[in-house]
Structure 1
Amino acid sequence: MTTPSADLLNEVRTFRARYPDVRYVDLLSLDIPGHFYGKRYPIDMLEKVAAGSPLKLPQNCVLLGVQGGLFPIGDYCFNDGDPDALRRLIPGTLKPVSWEREPLGQMLISSDGTAAPIEFEPREVLARVLQRLASKGIRPVVAFELEFYLFDRALKHGQPQFPRDPFSDDPDDQPNMHIERLSRFSDVLRDMVETANAQGVDANVITAELGPGQFEINFGHCEDGLRAADWAALFCRSTRGVALKHGLRASFMSKPYLQAPGSGMHVHVSLYDQAGNNVLASNGQRPLRHAVAGCLALLPHCMPVFAANHNAFRRYGAMVNAASRASWGFEDRDACIRIPESDTRNLRIEHRLAGADANPYLVLAAILCGMEHGLDAGQEPIAPLNDNRDSGVDFPKDMLTAVAAMRGHPAVNESLGPEFVKVYCENKRQDHLAFMQEVSAREYRWFL
């Protein structure tokens, strides 16, 4: 049994009264690669869970690979009997789903906050980092920005095609960064924002990005780090669903076109003390520089988090605003860590390295660990790009090198948890090896 919550039970009952046609609710949680898994529950059973009945799913669901398979990781998956683990309902996340053919609801679930949290569950990893910062009197405020591409729904020879433009049959007629492109795709973009808002996500500003069919949608700043990552996860799900409803395909793939910019997950983070003062702005902004130094120090050892798959490494150094080294700068979009111009109250870092298809819980956890590491060490960072365009620290450019750099790093193990690091690195290593087990058409052209 779980502890019953009057507020949670009232949330379910209010939802049932407001949406009487909804018979089922998808209970969702994010696995290591950043995909949702879960169960579709009859809504009357959901009310029983809210009242205290246990909610369990297999623990090893968290360990699924990109294609849904399981890998042997220590005793997990094949030598542990595939045990169930408790999950709990996340309050405030029960919302209607508008992109399916039939009335449906969805709600986030997690093992964090249960009697036995799963050490390697992404939301639990972030929860532990936030709890540690809270014990030091530090409260992060976070805002995600997510870039994505729209494609035509039909692939051509397995490859994505530019989205159909309602005003032009010319695939090259894609005015980058122009407000006109927002008008051309206004129906689907407006639906994406409104649907995200209906999910409780504070999605707001829309930008037409540099790539053909590429857009960015920003979220409001959130004082709850877990909720900020929830927003990013839920936004990806609803955006894909809305695109399909409009006859399109939305993808957060890091680098869908070699000759066009990749899609990033940009994360704005500021830190506040218990009195509401901006920690980064104190003492002549020295803590800001220390936080930057910590992020740069851990960045090369967190690359499997920021670049979560083989394709994600293609972003780095390939086009504008995609760094090839760990760097920082003031108002500089070529830097991994950008310091936007702001007043003292809103001073923050913008971490720009992660691919858009990375796991938002883990990306935020890694960023916060870097900032914490820097504040504790009190070291000054390397020169900003504003002073030296060659300033920077090398980081791994392939998954196997990145996994090795992460697996053995003491500070990363201590900050994110050694069990998580072991499981995550092995999951990524085996996913990468599985991906490589195919002979490409290029190999035949070059070597046959």
Structure 2
Amino acid sequence: MTKYKLEYIWLDGYTPTPNLRGKTQIKEYGSFPTLEDLPLWGFDGSSTMQAEGSSSDCVLKPVRVFPDAARKDGALVLCEVMMPDGETPHPTNKRATILDDDGAWFGFEQEYFFYKDGRPLGFPADGYPAPQGKYYTGVGYAQVGSISREIVEEHLDLCLAAGINHEGINAEVAKGQWEFQIFGKGSKKAADEMWMARYLLERLTEKYGVDVEYHCKPLGDTDWNGSGMHANFSTTYLREVGGEPYFLALMDAFEAACADHIAVYGPDNHMRLTGKHETQAIDQFSWGIADRGASIRVPHSFPRNGYKGYLEDRRPNSQGDPYQIASQILKTVASVDTAKASAAA
């Protein structure tokens, strides 16, 4: 028997953006534990904005388990938060109620800044570094500094060791800004792995003495880049059938649901979606081929392939909850699919 270090990880009740939480328990198993092996576990919800002090019990229900390469005999246990009965989803548990479909594929592009001493890593104590231009996909100390690449490379290895479908990294447009990409089949699977990748990055920065800043426009009303979490998505129908009439109906539905999407695409998005710097204004909707200023961008191959393939929603920001983002996208797609089915009946 081996004593495993089980890190139970969950999302707290803070708004508008939940925080990741984690605590460890030790259990003995004959081999790496399966999900069925893992018990429910309680925590004090009054300390996480999920309960009152007079009735503070909340319950963690394991839903995914991953190897933890940073610990000997470690496991990362992603949990949903439940009410004290262990069966009823807590009101803050968004994962339990989202739309899910294994045929819906999502690829999230997570942008973020490394911060130290209240400013992006690599910024001077006063003023700004050299203008943006050389930092994107940059190489060398002047572009990426001394420890950023160490962190992102170690983060990549931790994600791959955990079985997370991490698909790549790159330095981004602003000094101290980076991006990683996560892909998953099914909204829950993709969002689970994004949250776990965020957890591993945040935990890793403890070792390096830096912070991760997810705010979508941390440098305010300046020409410095904001941070998004572009959501690339497709459904079985989009990949296999598609067609221009269907695509145009889908874009009409996305335009009609613009406010519903913006509501869950991350806080302070008005600071980022200004209509400048290759973004569409927050209160407008557009789509375009290879257009970085569109709300939804499609690649050149999409129309050439009969309007089949994937779409990129460029509006979600770096603080967004991928569970809610994926679910809202599926709701809008479902409205078109339902109308199409009714018309065919």
Mapping 1:187-336, distance limit 5 Å: 187-219=150-182, 221-258=183-220, 259=222, 260-272=224-236, 278-279=237-238, 282=241, 284-308=243-267, 311-317=268-274, 319-324=276-281, 325-336=284-295
Q: TM-score, normalised by structure 2?
A: 0.77
Gaps in structure 1 of 5+ consecutive residues? 1-12, 71-76, 273-277, 379-448
Tell me if structure 1 keeps the 8 A contact 2:81–2:92: no
CA deviation string 1:327-355 (max 9, x = no partner): 21121111111112336497111111111
Aligned residues: 317
Instruction: Measure how far apart 1:110 and its partner are.
Output: 2.0
Q: 2: distance between equivalents of 1:286 and 1:48?
A: 46
1:365 aligns with 2:323: no
Tell me if structure 1 keeps the 8 A contact 2:113–2:120: no
The percent identity for this pair of structures is 17
Tell me if structure 2 keeps the 8 A contact 1:57–1:84: yes
Mapping 1:346-385, distance limit 5 Å: 347-377=309-339
Instruction: Measure how far apart 1:90 and its partner are.
Output: 2.2
When the two chains are superposed, the root-mean-square deviation of aligned CA atoms in Å is: 3.5
> What SS class does the counterpart of residue 204 from structure 1 fall into?
strand
CA deviation string 1:213-270 (max 9, x = no partner): 1111122x42232111011111112112223323332222111112211111111111
Q: 2: distance between equivalents of 1:52 and 1:237?
A: 20
Tell me if structure 1 keeps the 8 A contact 2:166–2:181: yes
Partner of 2:10: 29
* Higher Rg: 1
Q: 2: distance between equivalents of 1:348 and 1:47?
A: 36
Q: 2: distance between equivalents of 1:49 and 1:371?
A: 32
Q: 1: distance between equivalents of 2:336 and 2:233?
A: 14
Instruction: Measure how far apart 1:85 and its partner are.
Output: 5.8
Q: TM-score, normalised by structure 1?
A: 0.61
Q: 1: distance between equivalents of 2:225 and 2:145?
A: 21
Mapping 1:39-438, distance limit 5 Å: 39-44=23-28, 50-51=36-37, 53-56=39-42, 68-69=48-49, 77=51, 82=55, 84=57, 87-91=60-64, 93-96=65-68, 98=70, 105-110=75-80, 115-118=87-90, 120-126=92-98, 129-130=99-100, 139-152=103-116, 154-155=117-118, 160-163=119-122, 171-172=129-130, 175-180=134-139, 181=143, 185-219=148-182, 221-258=183-220, 259=222, 260-272=224-236, 278-279=237-238, 282=241, 284-308=243-267, 311-317=268-274, 319-324=276-281, 325-342=284-301, 344=305, 347-377=309-339
Larger strand fraction of residues: 2
Q: 1: distance between equivalents of 2:184 and 2:25?
A: 29
Q: 1: distance between equivalents of 2:93 and 2:110?
A: 22
Tell me if structure 2 keeps the 8 A contact 1:199–1:234: no
